Structure formats: C-alpha cells, structure tokens
Amino acid sequence: MGDYIWILIPLAPFIIGGFAIWTKHQQRIAELQLQATAEKAAQYATSNKELEDRVRVLERIVTDGGYDVATQIEALRDQRRVEERVENQRDLPRN
C-alpha cells in the first residue's frame, strides 16, 4: 500500500476538483426541482381557486329560489365571455 500512495498524491487535486463539481451539480439539480415544485403548487392553487369559484356559483344557483336556472347560467356565461375579452385586451401590446 505504501508504494501506491505516491501515485494518489498527484491525483488528489483532480479527485477533489471532481468532487466539488459533482457537489455543485447536485445542488443545482435540487434547486431546479424545488423551483419546478413551487411552480406546480402555484398552478394547483390557481386551478383550485377557479374551481372553488365555480362551485360557489353553482351552489348559489341551486340554493336561490325563484330564479330561472337557465337564465342565470346564460348570464354567467355572458359575464365570463366579457371577462375573457377584457383580459385578452389587456394582454395585447399597446402602440
């Protein structure tokens, strides 16, 4: 074993450098996974909020008496179309 230690000594900087590079790579992978997880959580939260809003509207339609359900549904569809148009106009570039 004593004869082989002299071979490993010149290789030590390369081994340490390789380990440092590997460690940074692993850290970067963990950061990217964390970022992707955070983005998915935000998407799920947005989707969940939209679903909750829709359920509230349906609950209101079902529980409110004296209203024509079909008329309310059409009114909500029209309202959603208007909101979508307003959002689309906001997204258009202005000259």
Q: Rounded to the nearest 10 degrees, how much is the dihedral formed by the CA atoms of 73, 74, 77, 83?
A: -120
If phi > 0 it is left, if psi is from -120 to 50 it is alpha, else beta; for residue 66 that is left
| Domains: count for the chain | 1
Q: At what angle do helices 69-91 and 5-63 cross, to 10 degrees?
A: 140
Q: pTM of the predicted model, to two decimals?
A: 0.45
Each residue's pLDDT tens digit, 44-60? 988 898 899 889 888 88
Residue 67 is predicted with a pLDDT of: 58
Q: For residue 76, what are the contacts with CB-CB under 8 A and spacing of at least 6? A: 57
Residue 72 is predicted with a pLDDT of: 73
Each residue's pLDDT tens digit, 55-90? 988 888 777 765 566 777 778 777 777 777 777 776
Query: Domain span at residue 83?
Result: 5-91
What Cα–Cα distance (Å) separates residue 33 from each residue in 43, 61, 76? 15, 42, 39
